């Protein structure tokens, strides 16, 4: 499924952002550092698009493309989702076209905030996961994604792994040196896995250099004041990732699904019952849940760390409401569990603010030496 929106072609005037995520408009006839050259952009108008506007168009485009005629979707699945086919010992594919789709959904258009957080090639021992670019120097992901063995007994007191991060890709095989961004450090939430494997499951990854924002790489806004996800019927979001499919292998291409937000009380009760016997999330007020899509699609291993993108019903703006933590639904568990970002904004802002203050001190020291 491709996107034909003009915002994803070179025929659009977009903004670059400084390290504080403040938009920098390219002057006519001029060029600032980290900007594309004039040959890369052919503006159609003088109006620039903000991150929120681009994210809103991304989300709108996904919704529109989701509801194409079913026959087109079936044909599309047959042609492109070869990685989701299940071949029996006889060598014949017997599953229906619908079942060949990834548990994680349909082939996704380019999602510019999607990051791949990569540990190693092993599927069972770490592998890779999702992340969300939230500024030109920071990627937000699940804390568990930075450990090969993810239970509390294997993470408490242990240092997280410094992962590889890839931006601007849609296919697994595009994760190469040309798309890799160097990592400076990782910051786990101070309350990571305090009480269970899923407590405060967040980590911030700082990049060594600011990444230029363009049509392929664009951060997604975080919840603003008053943007607290409403957990009621009819609220939906979009999650993207390269998670496992029906053949229990990772997807070769980025997939997405539209998932409904679940009742908080129902999700909490479900995992209270199961948590007594197995390692399941202890759902609290800092979390929220989603259910399977109307086609019974759900997230699976490898989707964790991805951002659930939602639209604010008041003004239509798009933001990341949560980071996927419990991704082991895989068509078995009813609910996927996310860290609710509005509850974690004080921590996120404190980490990012510290980076900004450090940069300010560096610039001040540099200038003082020049006088």
The predicted model scores a pTM of: 0.69
Which of these, 278, 272, 238, lies nearest to 255 by C-alpha position? 238
Domains of the chain: residue spans and CATH: 1-371 (2.40.10.10)
For residue 215, what is the DSSP state? Answer: S
pLDDT tens over the chain, length 371 residues: 333 333 333 333 434 445 554 444 444 344 433 333 333 333 334 456 676 677 677 666 655 555 444 444 443 343 333 333 322 232 332 232 233 333 445 565 689 999 999 987 654 545 889 999 999 999 999 999 999 888 888 888 889 999 999 999 999 889 999 999 999 999 999 999 888 778 899 999 999 999 999 989 999 999 998 888 888 778 999 999 988 776 667 778 898 899 999 999 999 998 888 765 557 888 999 999 999 888 888 898 889 999 999 999 888 899 999 999 998 878 778 899 999 999 999 999 999 987 666 655 655 665 555 54
CA distance 259 to 338: 12
Q: What is the pLDDT of residue 30?
A: 44
Indicate left, alpha or beta for 222 from its phi (over 0: left) and psi (-120 to 50: alpha): beta
Q: Which helix (H) or strand (E) holds 165?
A: strand 164-167
Cβ atoms < 10 Å from Cβ of 144: 25
For residue 36, what pLDDT is reported? 32
Q: Give the Cα separation of 219 and 111 in Å (integer).
A: 10
What pLDDT does 29 receive?
43
Provide the pLDDT for residue 265.
92
- The tokens describing 293, both together, are 């899509």
Output the pLDDT for position 180.
Answer: 97
Nearest to 150 by CA among 104, 201, 189: 201
Please give the structure tokens belonging to residue 153: 């007994």
Tokens (6 digits) for 125: 């021992």
Burial class (CB in 10 A: 0-12, 13-18, 19+), 257: buried
Q: Can you give the pLDDT at residue 327?
A: 86
Token digits of residue 351: 């980490």
Question: In the structure encoding, which two tokens stand for residue 108, read together?
Answer: 């996704």
The token pair that represents 119 in the structure block = 């540990």
């Amino acid at each position: 499924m491709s996107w034909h929106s003009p915002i994803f072609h070179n025929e659009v005037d977009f903004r670059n952002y400084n390290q504080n995520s403040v938009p920098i408009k390219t002057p006519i006839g001029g060029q600032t550092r980290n900007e594309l050259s004039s040959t890369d952009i052919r503006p159609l108008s003088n109006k620039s698009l903000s991150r929120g506007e681009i994210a809103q168009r991304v989300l709108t485009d996904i919704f529109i493309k989701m509801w194409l005629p079913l026959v087109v979707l079936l044909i599309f699945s047959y042609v492109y989702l070869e990685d989701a086919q299940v071949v029996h010992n006889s060598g014949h594919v017997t599953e229906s076209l619908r079942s060949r789709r990834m548990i994680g959904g349909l082939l996704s258009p380019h999602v510019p905030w999607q990051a791949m957080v990569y540990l190693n090639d092993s599927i069972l021992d770490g592998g890779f996961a999702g992340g969300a670019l939230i500024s030109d120097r920071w990627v937000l992901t699940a804390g568990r994604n930075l450990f090969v063995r993810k239970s509390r007994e294997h993470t408490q007191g242990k240092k997280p792994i410094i992962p590889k991060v890839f931006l601007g890709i849609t296919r697994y095989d595009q994760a190469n040196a040309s798309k890799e961004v160097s990592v400076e450090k990782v910051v786990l939430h101070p309350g990571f896995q305090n009480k269970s494997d899923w407590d405060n499951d967040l980590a911030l990854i700082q990049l060594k250099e600011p990444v230029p924002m363009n049509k392929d790489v664009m951060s997604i806004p975080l919840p603003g004041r008053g943007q607290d996800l409403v957990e009621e019927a009819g609220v939906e979001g979009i999650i993207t990732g390269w998670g496992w499919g029906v053949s229990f292998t990772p997807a070769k291409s980025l997939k997405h699904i539209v998932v409904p937000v679940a009742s908080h009380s129902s999700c909490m009760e479900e995992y209270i019952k199961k948590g007594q016997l197995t390692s399941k999330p202890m759902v609290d007020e800092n979390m929220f849940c989603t259910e399977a899509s109307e086609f019974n699609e759900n997230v699976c291993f490898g989707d964790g760390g991805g951002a659930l993108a939602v639209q604010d019903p008041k003004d239509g703006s798009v933001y990341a409401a949560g980071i996927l933590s419990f991704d082991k639904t895989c068509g078995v568990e009813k609910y996927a569990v996310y860290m609710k970002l509005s509850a974690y904004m004080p921590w996120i802002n404190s980490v990012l603010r510290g980076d900004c203050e450090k940069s300010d001190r560096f610039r001040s020291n540099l200038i003082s030496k020049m006088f």
